[in-house]
Amino acid sequence: MNAGQQPADEIRSGLLAALAAYGLWGLLPIFFKLLHHVGPFELVAQRVIWSLVLILILLAARRALGPLWAALSTPRLLLPLTASSLFIAINWTTYIWAVNDDHVIAASLGYFLNPLVNVALGVLVLKERLRRGQTLAIGVAAIGVAIMAAAALTTLWISIMLALSFAFYGLVRKLTPVAPMAGLGAETLILTPVALAYLGWLSGHGGLAFGQDNFTTVMLVVSGAMTTVPLVLFAVAAHRLPMATLGLLQFVAPLLQFLCGVLLFGETLSHGQMVSFALIWLGLILFASDSMAAARRNRPATA
């Protein structure tokens, strides 16, 4: 076998998996707009239930249910997984509400900010040190956020809530030694009693959308796949791609969300928002450039 061929194949398949994952995440506004008549809390509850069903099927097919049960039965893992469950539930609910209340641009901003918030958490919590380029990137983006606060104060909370909830979710998961699929399975199992209780309450009060018509029912079931499939693809990409490459590709999702908001749903940007986005994107370009330069410097020399 050609020694150089396998890595090239792995990188190619990793790129395809990453683009598919971020593409699906980027097009989620279109999916959730089709379910605008379903309340955000029911959508999250249905997403939890059907994600759990699919995850259990996938884990059972791979004979990998053991790590899931181990995580749930280990107190030192159960506590952080409960915290990450709370963060992801807040993230999902905020995102769905924002999309269906015509704030897709504000939602996309949250995910543009996410990598910069991750860096800030790394400094504050993990005591990581910033390179000069990272400090400059965060400073430029922070000016953009300050302008956004003045120009769009009513929707800024959406962006901040999404950025913080997903960043803290990522931090907790980084510090919790559980495989991605087993971790997501544990999180959905932890959320399932609350989801079932809420759906039961809705059903008793005649407000349950599930079962009202075939389209809504099928789409709610599909919401489980729309949650799980991108995460599986992301796990494949993370295993096969350098972190610098994966870090650059993550901007595909919020960029697609932004384009959906402007081109498909007719959301408009004020002058202040335009300046804010320009500065935040400049900060992201500086951040990405610094990451690529650092990856090149740290790459081992080849003979």
For the segment 227-255, what is each residue's pLDDT rounded down to a tens digit?
889 888 887 887 777 766 676 677 888 88
139-164 pLDDT tens trace: 888 888 788 777 777 888 998 999 99
Q: What is the arithmetic mean of pLDDT over 123-128?
A: 77
Annotate 48-104 with three-state secondary structure: HHHHHHHHHHHHHHCCCHHHHHHHHCCHHHHHHHHHHHHHHHHHHHHHHHHHHCCCH
Mean pLDDT of all residues in 199-210: 91
- Give me the half-sphere count of Cα atoms (radius 13 Å) on the Cβ side of residue 172: 22
Q: For residues 178 and 185, is the Cβ–Cβ distance under 8 A?
A: no
66-72 LR contacts (CB < 8 Å, sep 24+): 67/178, 67/179, 67/182, 68/182, 68/185, 68/186, 68/189, 70/182, 71/178, 71/182, 71/183, 71/186, 72/186, 72/189
Mean pLDDT across the stretch 260-270? 88
What average pLDDT score do residues 71-100 get?
Answer: 93
Distance CA 223, CA 226 (A): 5
This prediction's pTM: 0.83
Q: Measured between alpha carbons, how far is residue 56 from residues 11, 49, 62, 186, 278 in Å? A: 29, 11, 10, 10, 43
Residue 96 pLDDT level (bands cut at 50, 70, 90): very high
Report the 10 Å Cβ neighbour count for 59. Answer: 20
